Amino acid sequence: MLNDLLQKIEDRTAKVGVVGLGYVGIPLAMRISEMGLPVLGFDILPERIRQMDEGISPIRHIPDAAIAAMRDRGFRATADYSRAAECDALLICVPTPLDKHREPDLHFVTATMDSLAPHLRAGQLLSLESTTWPGTTAEVLAPYFTRAGLIPGETAFLVYSPEREDPGNPDFDTSRIPKVVGGDDPTSQAAGVALYSAFIDTVVPVSSTRAAEMVKLLENIYRAVNIGLVNELKIVAQGMGLDIFEVINAAATKPFGFKAFYPGPGIGGHCIPIDPFYLTWKAREYGIHTRFIELAGEVNAAMPDYVLQKTIQALSARGIAMSNARLLVLGIAYKRDVDDVRESPSVHLMESLRKWGARIDYSDSNVPVFPVMREHSFDLASVPLTPETLAEYDAVLVLTDHSDVDYDMLREHAALIIDARGRYSGVSDPKIVSA
């Protein structure tokens, strides 16, 4: 079985199914296609299938031409999961959110496996890429193999290889980000390493699926904890009349022992606000309380309220009640130059501003219309950022510092700026309030 798969990979005839055509799945499918392997994409959203079929990119930083080029190389997208039987490898790239109790929600993974299960066959490699708790691959996915009459490492192969996409980062595309691969038996491990080596420059094997799952959590917990630290230090520094951005930039000149992290209005995206809680949940099974992780989560989750209070104070100092204020939120994506609003602190803050009675608009060229979200609903479209529109608002809240914004024009024409991103660090202007 293994030799057959390895030969197909070497011959570039191994068909790879990418399940979940989003921020992770699409770049992955593009890279696999670029390296000459046939790719079949799976998704449950008819609109996503239509976009891919028509060569339209659903992701801002991926051009339409890249999707069209992938189609010209033979890529097809489908919602027909029976076609999984055609594939020699299946890479699962579906969301793993938290439920309302902040516990892991694997229903996208299990629903995907329910759809794939009738079509699993001998000789296939299955790889989970979604972030999850250590033990998911062995405890949740492996039983699907067993029920299908397959044995991992003997008649089929099972690995975990965490996604490491950084949307909008031009310095690291899929091919250049080292890929961690973990299998629970030597044969699955060999199959996983061979497959990923066919389209990723550097593959990093680890001893098990659990180790690989823990790697991903460590990476994101590292970021969450350090961001929580600088968010807390920002509050301390502002209380002392210090510019935290000046302090961080000076500290970053140290050539060893320090890595710069920057504060903001909170944390967002599909990883950093969510992934640490996958480990805290699993750790409770072992009687372990992850105090450090949970404290960082509390600090980061509180940052939108900190910006809210700074906004209330700044408006009050100008004789404006929040209930009468008209506010413009600048940037609703969770980070600079992307169109992803998942878990965006901007959206959480907009909810709070609305509860206080403020009239809210937003400006974000990356997100022309406020998207449909599971927990948030705003009937809004992005307003143009011009001197005329700025004159209509009591304050502008800089929550995502996209690079296409004219910040000099903003400073000249805005009545009040609440700067939660340090865009105006070092600027002395009474109408700019650091938050």
Tens-digit pLDDT profile for residues 249-298: 999 999 999 999 999 999 988 788 888 999 999 999 999 999 999 999 99
pTM score, whole prediction: 0.92
Determine the CATH number of domain 2-207: 3.40.50.720
Q: What percent of the chain has pLDDT over 90?
A: 91
Tell me which residues are annotated as active site.
Answer: 271
Lowest mean pLDDT among 68-77, 188-197, 267-276: 267-276
3-class DSSP state of 208: coil
Give the mean pLDDT of 101-126: 95
pLDDT of 156 strictly over 90: yes
What is the total residue count of the chain? 435
- Phi, psi (rounded to 5 degrees) for 347: -70, -40
Judging by DSSP bridges, how do beta strands 395-398 and 417-419 pair with one another?
Answer: parallel
Task: Place 169 in a pLDDT band, splitting at 50, 70 and 90.
Answer: confident
Q: Which of 391, 410, 412 is nearest to 399 (CA)?
A: 410
Q: How confident is the model at residue 211 (pLDDT cuts 50, 70, 90)?
A: very high
**Is residue 167 over pLDDT 80?**
no
What is the number of other CB atoms lying within 10 angstroms of the CB of residue 305?
14
Model confidence at 173, in pLDDT bands (50, 70, 90)?
confident
Residue type, 204: V
pLDDT at residue 157, as a whole number: 98
Residue range 232-252: average pLDDT? Answer: 96
| Superfamily in which the 241-434 domain is placed by CATH | NAD(P)-binding Rossmann-like Domain (3.40.50.720)
Q: Give residue-wise pLDDT tens across range 353-406.
A: 999 999 999 999 999 999 988 788 899 999 999 999 999 999 999 999 999 999
The token pair at 139 is 């405890």
Amino acid identity at 382: S
**Mean pLDDT for the chain overall:** 95
In angstroms, how far is the first alpha carbon of the chain from the final one? 59
pLDDT of residue 100: 80
Q: Where in the chain is the domain with CATH 3.40.50.720?
A: 2-207, 241-434
When pLDDT is cut at 50, 70 and 90, the band that residue 184 belongs to is very high
φ, ψ of residue 243 to 5 degrees: the values are: -95, 110
Which residues partner with 327 through β-bridges? 360, 395
Q: Half-sphere exposure of residue 273, counting CA atoms within 13 Å on the CB side?
A: 23
